Structure 1
Amino acid sequence: MRASRLVSLLLLLQTKGRMTAQALADELEVSVRTIYRDVESLHAAGVPLYGDAGPAGGYQLIDGYRTRLTGLTEQEAESLFLAGLPGPAAELGLGDAVSAAQLKLMAALPSSMRDRATRMTERFHLDAPAWYSDPERSPFLGLVADAVWQQRLLEVSYRRWQAPEDVTRVLRPLGLVLKAGRWYLVALGSTRISTYRVAQIQAASVLDETFERPAGFDLATHWAESLQDFQSRQFTGEAVLRLTARGWESFASHVLPAVARAAEESAVPDGERVRVTIPIESIGHAGGMVLRMGAEVEVLAPDELREHVTSVVRQLASIYAD
Structure 2
Amino acid sequence: MKSSRLVSILLLLQTRGRMTAAQLAEELEVSVRTVYRDVEALGAAGVPLYGDAGHAGGYRLLDGYRTRLTGLTADEAEALFLAGVPGPAAELGLGPLLAAAELKVRAALPARADRISARFHLDAPGWYADADATPFLPAVADAVWNSRVLTVRYRRWREPTDVERRLEPYGLVLKAGRWYVVAGPGPRTFRVDQILELLSLGEEFTRPADFDLVAHWTAYQRDFHARLHRGEAVVRLAPGRTLPRARTLTTEPDGWTRAVVPIESVGHAHGEFLRLGADVEVLQPAELRVMIAGTVRELAEKYGNFTHDSGH
TM range (shorter): 0.7 to 0.9
Q: Per the alignment, in what secondary structure is the counterpart of residue 82 of structure 1? A: coil
- Give the 3 Å change call, closer, same or farther, for CA 63–159 of structure 1 in structure 2: same
Residue 136 of structure 1 pairs with residue 128 of structure 2: no
Residue 12 of structure 1 aligns with which residue?
A: 12
The percentage of counterpart residues that share the same residue type is 60
Residue 181 of structure 1 pairs with residue 177 of structure 2: yes
Q: Per the alignment, in what secondary structure is the counterpart of residue 186 of structure 1? A: strand
CA RMSD in angstroms, aligned pairs only: 2.8
Residue 165 of structure 1 pairs with residue 152 of structure 2: no
Q: Which runs of 5+ in 2 are unaligned?
A: 304-312
Q: Once superposed, which parts of structure 1, at least 4 consecutive aligned residues long, lie more than 6 Å away?
A: 310-320
2:221 maps to which of 221, 227, 238? 227
Distance in 1 between the 2:119 and 2:231 partners? 45
- Give the 3 Å change call, closer, same or farther, for CA 56–207 of structure 1 in structure 2: same
The CA deviation string for residues 172-208 of structure 1, in whole angstroms up to 9 with x for no partner, is 110001111111100113xx21111111111111112
Residue 26 of structure 2 aligns with which residue?
A: 26
2:146 maps to which of 150, 160, 177? 150
Matched-pair contact (CA < 8 Å) for 1:85–1:126: yes
Matched-pair contact (CA < 8 Å) for 2:5–2:28: yes
Q: Per the alignment, in what secondary structure is the counterpart of residue 65 of structure 2? A: coil
The CA deviation string for residues 271-301 of structure 1, in whole angstroms up to 9 with x for no partner, is 6865332222222222333445567654322
Following TM superposition, by how much is the alpha carbon of 1:149 offset from its aligned partner in structure 2, in angstroms? 1.1
Distance in 2 between the 1:163 and 1:183 partners? 23
Matched-pair contact (CA < 8 Å) for 2:273–2:280: yes
Q: Which runs of 5+ in 1 are unaligned?
A: none
Following TM superposition, by how much is the alpha carbon of 1:96 offset from its aligned partner in structure 2, in angstroms? 0.6
Distance in 1 between the 2:115 and 2:275 partners? 42
Residue 202 of structure 1 aligns with which residue?
A: 196
- Give the 3 Å change call, closer, same or farther, for CA 14–230 of structure 1 in structure 2: same
Following TM superposition, by how much is the alpha carbon of 1:71 offset from its aligned partner in structure 2, in angstroms? 3.9
Distance in 2 between the 1:233 and 1:44 partners? 67
Following TM superposition, by how much is the alpha carbon of 1:311 offset from its aligned partner in structure 2, in angstroms? 7.2
Matched pairs, number? 303
Following TM superposition, by how much is the alpha carbon of 1:314 offset from its aligned partner in structure 2, in angstroms? 8.8
Following TM superposition, by how much is the alpha carbon of 1:57 offset from its aligned partner in structure 2, in angstroms? 2.8
Amino acid at match of 1:65: Y
- Give the 3 Å change call, closer, same or farther, for CA 10–269 of structure 1 in structure 2: same
Matched-pair contact (CA < 8 Å) for 1:267–1:277: no
Q: Give the TM-score normalised by the residue count of structure 2.
A: 0.85
Amino acid at match of 1:68: R
- Give the 3 Å change call, closer, same or farther, for CA 149–317 of structure 1 in structure 2: same
- The structure whose residues are more often helix, as a share, is 1
Amino acid at match of 1:130: G
Q: Which moved more, 1:152-161 or 1:304-313?
A: 304-313
Residue 59 of structure 1 pairs with residue 59 of structure 2: yes
Q: Which moved more, 1:308-317 or 1:228-237?
A: 308-317
